[in-house]
Amino acid sequence: LSTKTSPDSSWNFRVVTRIVVEELEAWFMGDTAALQAAFTSLSGRRVPRIFNNPDDGGTWERLHRFLKQNRIYRNSYPKIAAARKIAPNMEPARNRSKSFQVFLHGVEACL
């Protein structure tokens, strides 16, 4: 595969376009271990079965409801603060979000 950092002899390379449609919360729900690492009070708690298919839609609402039930972000859901807390704990290989995996494979194809 010819990439920008490793073009072929004619200096051609491929570009993979991925448009992220699903909310980032689907990607967070796809890695429940990252959620539990970000919010230690979730450690050992059972994650709802609805997290098994995180790309089903309504994701930020489902994630906020789950966190609220567990006394995290009770009033509002600060998306940026939550993302900063969860994202560093994510492991791409264990993420169950189909949209995340498709995005990841596209990025990996360009490396």
Residue 15 located in a structural domain: no
Residues 6+ apart with CB under 8 A from 10: none
Residue 56 located in a structural domain: yes
Residue 10 located in a structural domain: no
The CA-to-CA distance between both ends of the chain, in Å, stands at 9
DSSP code string of 14-76 = --------S-HHHHHHT-HHHHHHHSGGGTTPPPPGGGGSGGGS-HHHHHHHHHHHTTSS-S-
pLDDT at 22: 67
Report whether pLDDT(2) > 80. Answer: no
% of the chain at pLDDT higher than 90: 54
Report whether pLDDT(28) > 70. Answer: yes
Residue 8 located in a structural domain: no
Residue 1 located in a structural domain: no
Residue 30 located in a structural domain: yes
Split into its structural domains, the chain has a count of 1
Report whether pLDDT(67) > 70. Answer: yes
pLDDT at 110: 74
Cα(51)–Cα(64) distance, integer angstroms: 12
Structural domain of residue 53, as residue ranges? 24-110
